[in-house]
Structures are given as C-alpha cells and as structure tokens.
Chains A and B, each alone.
Chain A
C-alpha cells in the first residue's frame, strides 16, 4: 500500500541554523500538507500546497518557513533560522484531491533545536 515517507526521522540542529525536512507524498496525490505537533500538544496545520503554490497557510507559517516541490516526487519544508520553539514533530501529508478526501500522513520528522 502506498505510503507517505519522510526523512530524516530525527534532526538535531542548533538555534539559528537552517533545516530542510523532506517528504515523498503518495505518487498520485495532488495536494500536500505540513503539520506539526509540539510535544504533548495538538497537531497543528502549517500549510497546504497545490499546483506548485501555497493554497493555504496558518499564522504559524511565517517568513521563516517555506515549502517547495523541487521535482516530481519530493516536497520539502525549510525553516530558515530555527528557534528553540520550532522543536516539534513535523508531519507531511498528502491527499488525492481537495474537499473531503482523506489526508494520509507520513511518520514524521522529530526536529530538536538546541
């Protein structure tokens, strides 16, 4: 069964450094998402992406964040200058279409900012 994959599984970085989190969505899916979950808190929406542009973003997704689909398979989340409060589990998700279609999540990347 097709799955969303994410790399790395765990990333440790120093405050102020740039990080890129990578995702490979399910191959026939057209909509892509990033969510994050700070330890012990709710899963929070960051951004959705369709047709090579951002379709929706939350207030969390400020200028420090960017997303890109550099080729036909990868979908990346970049954090330009990491802060301690960016430490969280970051989940990539994809769906076949918009509207009421299931969003399938990857296993997550645990980002630790020291």
Chain B
C-alpha cells in the first residue's frame, strides 16, 4: 500500500538555517502533498506536487519530486522560530480513482531562536 515515510523523524536547527525533510513512498503516485501541523492543532496545506512536476516553490518552501526514486523533499529556507512544527507528506492510496490520502509519521522540526 502507499505509505509516505518522512526522514528524519526529528530535526533541530538554528533560526536562519535551511531545513530539509524527505519523504519516501512505495508505489506509483500521481501527486504528493505536504502539510504542516503545529502541536495539537490542525493540518495546514503547504504544497501539492504532481507526478509530472519535478520541483515547486511557494515562498520559502521548495518541494522536489523524484518519481524514479519514489521520494520527495521539502526545503524550508531561512527558517524562523514560527516554522517549528511537524511536517507530513501525504500520498494517494492508489494511482487513480481515490480520495484517500495516506500520511507519514512526520518530521518534527524545531527552530531555535
């Protein structure tokens, strides 16, 4: 089954540094989404990247997708204390015809001021 697994599980950096999180999945997908979750709060949608896209940007976020390696990365540049959160990738359960997304276990990012 589809499963996004993030790596590392936890990451601690200084404010201003870049943070890179990786997501690996098992089978073919047509898109992948990244979400942020602050402690005990809801999920905030960050970026959706389609399988025919290799890279996508949104503000300080850069997402890449390598379908040959079945992996995606999320880069946060010039991190801020407010970026402290858990970050999840989510992949569709099947290649088509599904509304179900499977979430990984997340990367807990801590940005130190």
B60 in the interface (beta carbon within 8 A): no
**How far does the Cβ of A70 sit from chain B's closest Cβ, in whole Å?**
21
Name which of A42, A44, A91, A98 has the most chain B CB atoms within 10 A of its CB.
A42
Please classify the interface of chain A as helix (H, G, I), strand (E, B), loop, or mixed, using the class held by over half of its residues.
Answer: strand
Residue tally, chain B, CB below 8 Å to A: 26
B25 in the interface (beta carbon within 8 A): no
The reply to whether B88 and A56 contact each other, CB–CB distance below 8 Å, is: no
Determine which of B40, B42, B92 lies in contact with A105 in the assembled complex, contact meaning CB atoms within 8 Å: B42
Q: Given that A43-B88, A45-B93, A100-B48 are contacting pairs, would A106 and B42 also be in contact in the complex, using a CB cutoff of 8 Å?
A: yes
Q: Given that A45-B93, A56-B100 are contacting pairs, would A102 and B48 also be in contact in the complex, using a CB cutoff of 8 Å?
A: yes
Determine which of A45, A105, A106 lies in contact with B100 in the assembled complex, contact meaning CB atoms within 8 Å: A45
B78 in the interface (beta carbon within 8 A): no
Residues of chain A with a CB closer than 8 A to B44's CB: 105
Please give me the residue from chain A that is nearest to B44 by CB atom: A105
B45 in the interface (beta carbon within 8 A): yes
Residues of chain A with a CB closer than 8 A to B102's CB: 45
* Bound form: Cα–Cα A100–B50 in Å: 7
The reply to whether A48 and B43 contact each other, CB–CB distance below 8 Å, is: no
Determine which of B96, B101, B106 lies in contact with A103 in the assembled complex, contact meaning CB atoms within 8 Å: B101
The reply to whether B105 and A42 contact each other, CB–CB distance below 8 Å, is: yes
* Bound form: Cα–Cα A89–B103 in Å: 15
Rank and list the top 10 A-B pairs by shortest CB-CB distance, nearest first.
Answer: A100-B31, A48-B99, A107-B42, A43-B103, A105-B43, A45-B100, A108-B42, A102-B48, A102-B45, A42-B103
Q: Can you list 25 A-B pairs, Cβ within 8 angstroms, ordered by A? A: A31-B99, A42-B104, A43-B43, A44-B103, A45-B101, A45-B102, A55-B99, A56-B98, A56-B100, A58-B100, A91-B43, A93-B43, A99-B30, A100-B30, A100-B48, A101-B48, A103-B45, A103-B101, A104-B45, A105-B42, A105-B43, A105-B45, A107-B42, A108-B41, A108-B42
